[in-house]
Amino acid sequence: MILIASAGLKEVFMKRWIIYLAWAWEILIGVLLITPGGVLCIACGFTVQAPGYIGRPATLVLGVLAIVLGAFGIANTAGMIKSGSAAGR
């Protein structure tokens, strides 16, 4: 019985870390979007200027939005876990 309960607690603990990691990833993407060099092509390493590129101001707005969303998500998840209403509980 103790082993089963321990496995259940470990599973909930891992779910918490995955949730936090997902929100931290969202913040990291936002930070990468607002870097001074701009958005770089993964294949060639040059700044993206191709047709269809939404432009620097829009990229900055999306970056800031991603950071705010990630910070809000972490705060909201921490509040839910603290109150005991998180998924998996």
In a domain, 59, yes or no: yes
Do the domain assignments include residue 70?
A: yes
pLDDT, tens digit (0-9, with 9 covering 90-100), for 59-76: 889 999 999 999 999 998
pLDDT of residue 14: 65
Check: CB of residue 15 under 8 Å from CB of residue 87.
Answer: yes
Residue 52 forms part of a structural domain: yes
The pTM of this model reads 0.67
* Position 72 in a domain: yes
Domain assignment present for residue 71? The answer is yes
> What is the total count of domains within the chain?
1
Q: 83 pLDDT exceeds 80?
A: no
Determine the Cα–Cα distance for residues 24 and 17; give it in Å rounded to an integer: 10
Residue 19 has pLDDT above 80, yes or no: yes
Establish if 89 belongs to a structural domain: no
Which domain does 43 fall in, by range? 36-82
